Amino acid sequence: DQAIVHYRHAFLADPTNTNALTRLGDASVDASEFRDADWYYEQALAIQPDSLEAIRGLGRVHYLKGFFANAEKSFRRALTLAPDDVSTRVNLANTLVATNRPEEAITLFGELVQQQPNLAHAWYGLGLALHQQNRLDQSMAALTRSAEVDKFFFSEIAHAAKFAEIACERGQQQAARRNHKAALASFAQAAKILPTHAAAYAESGHVWLAAGDRTRAVRAYKKACSLNTSDWSVWNNLAWLLATQQNITSESAHDAEGAARHAVDLEPERASSHDTLAAALASNGKFKEATQAAEKAIELTRQENPNADVRRIHRRIELYRAEKRFVEP
């Protein structure tokens, strides 16, 4: 970078050049070379103690290293020099969010978005602070606004991931209130911003299942499984839905067994893993293996609770012994 070379030459020519020192500090921060950045800023402050750029830069270094108390101290000091400096106010508010102090952060971010309505970082920070107060609808509105004022804002994966996480959290709360339509809309928002967010599809599957739409639940679970191979509940639910559907195809039966075996691999000591595997094996005509898997499910259930009611599994075993698969009503 020619600018860096220029400032290095300027510093070597005049070691008291605070502008060169702060610019080299900024470049070091961008390169995640925090020790070098620290040195450059400290040198600048030794020469010019009221250098806003150096104080603010040092605050950034502390923040990125997780030293939030020192970061806050630097940013508050910078504000005494330049109370209206937008960058410093955003940095201070972000530090407050990082230390779980949303009330003051909301005030700061609120003032910023009123003064500069197109400041995406302030809308985003406001959304995070509102989330800390569990004000999820307002949080999502602020986060959405950050994307509206800067269409590239969520191209940064960390921003997109946080948006998707909060959208899913809101969707879970809506689903718990049985507001399925709103929940699905929240999960769709998450998936739109971050198409690789497996939880958005998994949660959609849970809602479709609760709403009685097995077809859409299967579709959502399949997408979730393609993105996350370690979520037991999704693999197990997918296998069960495929295996116990009324009009099963050979392809669905094959997929059911594959998903069920994967669920067993993930949770081999969980009774329902083997109960689901039994249903999947039966859907493929493997009734002897299905019986054995169901018996394993009973064994594991009784290990956990000797008084557990296993009559449903016994009824399924009777079907398997009669070479019939279990079909969910």
pLDDT, one tens digit per residue, over 256-288 is: 999 999 999 999 999 999 999 999 999 999 999
Which of the listed residues 211, 228, 245 is the one where a domain comes to its end? Answer: 228
> What's at 163, amino acid-wise?
F
Quick one: 187 and 216 in the same domain? yes
Domain that holds residue 201: 172-228
Instruction: Give the residue from 228, 251, 273 where a domain finishes.
Output: 228
Say if CB 58 and CB 74 are below 8 A apart. yes
CATH code where residue 320 lies: 1.25.40
Q: Is residue 68 part of a domain?
A: no
Q: Is the pLDDT of residue 39 over 80?
A: yes
Residue 38 has pLDDT above 80, yes or no: yes
Q: Report the distance separating Cα 149 and Cα 113, nearest Å.
A: 11
- Domain contains 240: yes
Please give the average per-residue pLDDT across 105-130, as a whole number.
98
281 belongs to a structural domain: yes
Alpha-carbon distance of 147 to 153, in angstroms, equals 6
**Domain match, 214 and 241 both:** no
Judged against a pLDDT cut of 90, whether residue 5 lies above it is answered with no
| Same domain? 254 vs 325 | yes
pLDDT in tens, 208-266: 999 999 999 999 999 999 999 999 999 999 999 999 999 999 999 999 999 999 999 99
Which residue type is seen at 305? N
Domain presence at residue 158? no
Same-domain pairing of 186 and 267: no
pLDDT of 2 higher than 80: no
- % of the chain at pLDDT higher than 90: 93
Same domain, 288 and 250: yes
Residues 201 and 258 in one domain: no
Q: How confident is the model at residue 292, as a pLDDT?
A: 98
pLDDT for residue 145: 97
108-147 burial, b for 16+ CB within 10 Å, e for fewer? bbbebbeeeeebbbbbbbbbbbbbbeebbeebbebbbbbb
Q: How confident is the model at residue 8 (pLDDT cuts 50, 70, 90)?
A: confident
From the list 180, 196, 253, the residue with the least C-alpha distance to 228 is 196
The answer to whether residue 115 scores a pLDDT higher than 80 is: yes
22 domain residue, yes or no: no
203 lies in some domain:
yes
Indicate if 242 and 320 belong to the same structural domain: yes
Q: Residue 305 — very low, low, confident or very high, per pLDDT cuts 50/70/90?
A: very high
Using DSSP's 3-state secondary structure scheme, residue 213 falls into coil
Of 19-23, 73-77, 176-180, the poorest mean pLDDT is in 19-23
Query: Residue 79: in which H helix or E strand, if any?
Result: helix 68-81
- Do 183 and 241 lie in one domain? The reply is no
Residue at 325 is within a domain: yes
Rg (the chain; Cα; Å): 28
pLDDT at 72: 98
Rounded to 5 degrees, φ, ψ at 68 are: -70, -35
Average pLDDT over residues 30-59: 95
**Domain C-terminal end among 161, 193, 228:** 228
- For the chain, what is the domain count? 2
CATH value at residue 180? 1.25.40.10
As a whole number, mean pLDDT of residues 107-115 equals 98
224 shares its domain with 245: no
Find out whether 142 and 126 touch, Cβ atoms under 8 Å. Answer: yes
- Reported pTM: 0.85
- The residue written with tokens 């999947």 in the block is 280
In this structure, the answer to whether residues 240 and 296 fall within a common structural domain is yes
Q: Is the pLDDT of residue 312 over 90?
A: yes
Is 7 a residue whose pLDDT tops 80?
no
245 and 328 within one domain: yes
Longest Cα pair distance anywhere in the chain, in angstroms?
Answer: 92
Query: CA 3, CA 286: separation in Å to the nearest integer?
Result: 71
Give me the phi and psi of 149, to 5 degrees please: -85, -15
Whole-angstrom distance, CA of residue 292 vs CA of residue 46: 77
Find how far residue 291's CA is from the centre of its chain.
40
pLDDT at 6: 79
Residue 244 lies in a domain: yes
